A and B are shown apart, each in its own frame.
Chain A
Amino acid sequence: MKKEEVLSIIDKHRDQGDGLISVLEEIQTKYSYLPAEALKLVAERTGRSAVDVYSVATFYRSFSLKPRGKHLCLVCQGTACHVRGAPQVEKEFARQLQVQPGETTPDREFTLETVNCLGACALGPVVVMDGHYFSNVRTSRVKSILDKTRAGLDDAELKADLRDFVLTVSCPRCNHSLMDPHHPIDGSPSIKVTVATEGEHGWLRLSALYGSFTVESEFGIRTDAVVDFFCPHCHAVLKGASLCPLPQCRAPMVSMIVRAGGVVQICSRRGCKGHMLDLNGSGV
């Protein structure tokens, strides 16, 4: 533990009212546990008494005063997980790692802990390994989970997930789909809208692949020209309320409804890559 590192973490939270839990969380992320000297430093620096900091650190289960291993294995012991066999899963982890819950393996690789409920009761028994959730865990899967973790969970998931993120959008006024399956761009249905700029009028096809900026249009549009977008079905203007987030652009945004929920907004300036995707938003 370095004194300067802890002090800089504490000072970072100065302007947020010395949020004690945020400070402790960050220290814990850095060292995987809360060293006693760090707690003392937090108390001194924030003007709290040592016992206040200590009582917060011992109150929350997510804080640990003992060094944790490289990987943190949480086995849910909530009621739903319990009746579906979480105790057996916990025993199996304890047997394979040869530690009791709350302990760390001698090689400092794994820390086994139990939690009371993760709120994912329908998926039980749930095991969380370094923030990766495993659902419906049986004792037979314990070994493969441990092997996967040793091999590196982040690598495994990135390699397995090669899906493209394709948006299916519709008009915010008539809710008619804007997708054109007959003219695919980037291998998936394109988004077809009507556009008008500088006296010209015609169709425009956008790639539905998120992150791709491929565009096809009926007529050539001058780069940096601001274009008006219309729904090809109800002819409503697809202009959103906000402006492009890029400071050098500030052109009006074009908004469309994402079928899976949310709103996507793209910049109406030709060649500008400003866009906003809000999967929780509902308004236009």
Chain B
Amino acid sequence: MITLTINGLRVEVEQGTTVLEAARFLGFPIPTLCHMEGLSPYGACRLCVVEIGEGPKAKLVSSCTYPAEEGLRVRTASARVLRARKMVLELLLASCPQSKVIQDLASAHQVRQQRFRQEHEDCILCGLCVRMCEEQMMAKAIGFRGRGSTRSLGTPFDIKSEVCRLCGGCIYVCPACQLRCTYTEPDKAICGGCANLSPPCVEKERFDDMMCYMNPCVACEIVKD
């Protein structure tokens, strides 16, 4: 067992526990975007930053990937952590302003302005969908492509993958693109665009507007070309 101190409270956790899990066990809220139980930690969104160490040696680390160490002193809500977290949210807002999840988080963290060049990406490259596809769905149909500013997510050659079973898991976990098609049950769907069209989803041009990943559409089986 490892003993560490989180915000002045001592806690005993098992070897291999991450700082995030230990903090959540004590009930300290740490916001996350790219973390999900059942998927391996990735440390992409940096929202879960915490401060470890003392004095001039104190540093910010992502708690979802940082393993608990004996005698570690963690602060989850120091001024420095909150400042860093607000900056991360502001940057996320700049790239993905339409995401409801990011908007809510920003609002909860008193982010009232966004000072960076506004982009309208539909992906924050958090890799949740990649891990979902690989670790839970055992498919490995999508992955990262390219590098740097041209890094993107998707299937090889942008054609439908042979191993994709259209499970929709990638869309389900995505924090940025939840406005995309969520299947056809109108009461469950956040979008339901294809079902609510009248007449429903017969024109391919309008189907494209739905930002739908399903190909062919599971509802009407129109092949999007």
- Where the two chains meet, the residues of A that have a C-beta atom closer than 8 Å to any C-beta of B are 36, 39, 49-55, 58-59
Question: When the two chains form their complex, are residues A51 and B146 in contact, meaning their CB atoms are under 8 A apart?
Answer: no
Residue contact B140 to A54, C-beta cutoff 8 Å: no
Query: Binding site of B, secondary structure by majority: helix, strand, loop or mixed?
Result: loop
Contact A51 B147 (CB under 8 A): no
Is the CB–CB distance between A36 and B157 below 8 Å?
Answer: yes
> Does the CB pair A58–B163 fall under 8 Å?
no
- The answer to whether B163 touches A49, judged by C-beta atoms less than 8 angstroms apart, is yes
B141 contacts the other chain (Cβ, under 8 Å)?
A: yes
A52 and B146: CB pair below 8 A? no
A125 to B181, CA, bound (A): 51
**How far is A51 from B162 in the complex, measured between Cα atoms in Å?**
11
Docked-complex contact A51 and B140, CB < 8 angstroms: yes
Name A's interface SS: helix
Q: Which residues of B contact A58 (CB under 8 A)?
A: 145-147
Instruction: Give A70 Cβ to nearest chain B Cβ, in Å.
Output: 25
B161 contacts chain A at the CB level, 8 A cutoff: yes
Chain A proximity mask over B162-198: 1 for CB below 8 Å, otherwise 0: 1100000000000000000000000000000000000
- In Å, the complex CA distance between A59 and B161 comes to 19
Q: A51-B140, A51-B156 are in contact. List 16 more A-B contacts (CB 8 A).
A: A39-B156, A49-B134, A49-B140, A49-B141, A49-B163, A50-B156, A50-B161, A50-B162, A51-B142, A51-B143, A51-B155, A51-B161, A54-B156, A54-B157, A55-B143, A59-B146
Q: Which of B134, B140, B155 has the most CB of A within 10 A?
A: B140
Give min CB distance, A42 to chain B, whole Å: 11
Give min CB distance, B185 to chain A, whole Å.
30
Q: Is B147 touching A54 in the complex (CB atoms < 8 A)?
A: no
Task: Indicate with 1 or 0, residue by residue over B125-141, a CB within 8 angstroms of chain A CB atoms.
Answer: 00000000010000011
B25 within 8 A of partner (CB) = no
B207 CB to nearest A CB, Å? 25
Provide 13 A-B residue pairs closer than 8 Å at the C-beta atoms, listed in order of the A residue.
Answer: A39-B156, A50-B162, A51-B140, A51-B141, A51-B143, A53-B156, A54-B143, A54-B157, A55-B143, A55-B144, A58-B146, A58-B147, A59-B146
B145: which A residues are within 8 A, CB to CB? 54-55, 58
* Proximity bits, B104-138, A CB within 8 Å = 1, else 0: 00000000000000000000000000000010000
Which residues does chain B contribute within 8 Å of A53, judged by CB atoms?
Answer: 156
- Return B24 CB to nearest CB of chain A, in Å: 32
Which B residues are in CB contact (< 8 Å) with A54?
A: 143, 145, 156-157
A39 to chain B, nearest CB (A): 7
Complex CA–CA separation, A49 to B140 (angstroms): 6
B150 (CB) vs chain A CBs: closest residue: A58
In the complex, A110→B143 CA distance in Å?
A: 32
Complex CA–CA separation, A51 to B163 (angstroms): 10
Assembled-state Cα–Cα distance A39/B157 (Å): 11
With a cutoff of 8 Å between Cβ atoms, the chain A residues found around residue B134 in the complex are 49
Q: What's the nearest-Cβ distance from chain A to residue B40, in Å? A: 16
Chain A residues closer than 8 Å to B161, beta-carbon distance: 50-51
- Rounded to whole angstroms, the CA-CA distance of A53 and B141 in the bound complex is 12
Does A52 lie within 8 Å of B157, measured CB to CB? no
Contact B140 A52 (CB under 8 A): yes
Contact A59–B147 (Cβ < 8 Å): yes
- Which residues of chain A are near B156, meaning CB under 8 Å? 39, 50-51, 53-54
Shortest beta-carbon distance, A65 to chain B, in Å? 8
A52–B147 contact, CB under 8 A? no
Contacts of A49 in B (CB 8 A): 134, 140-141, 143, 163
Q: How many Å lie between the Cα of A55 and that of B140 in the bound state?
A: 12
- The residues of B that contact A59 with a CB separation of less than 8 Å are 146-147
- Going nearest first, the 3 A-B pairs with the smallest beta carbon separation are A51-B143, A49-B140, A54-B156
Cα–Cα, bound, A58→B148 (Å) = 11
Q: What is the CA–CA distance of A55 and B161 in the complex, to the nearest angstrom?
A: 14
Distance between A61 CB and nearest chain B CB, rounded to angstroms? 8
By a CB distance below 8 angstroms, the chain B residues around A39 are: 156
A249: min CB distance to chain B, Å: 52
Q: In whole angstroms, what is the CA distance A49 to B155 when docked? A: 11
Kindly report which residue of chain A lies nearest to residue B145, judged by CB atoms. Answer: A58
Alpha-carbon gap, A59 to B162, bound state (A): 22
Complex Cα spacing A52 to B134, Å: 11
Contacting residues, chain A, for B142 (C-beta < 8 A): 51
Q: How far is the CA of A2 from the CA of B106 in the complex (A)?
A: 54
User: A51 to chain B: which residues have CB within 8 Å?
Assistant: 140-143, 155-156, 161
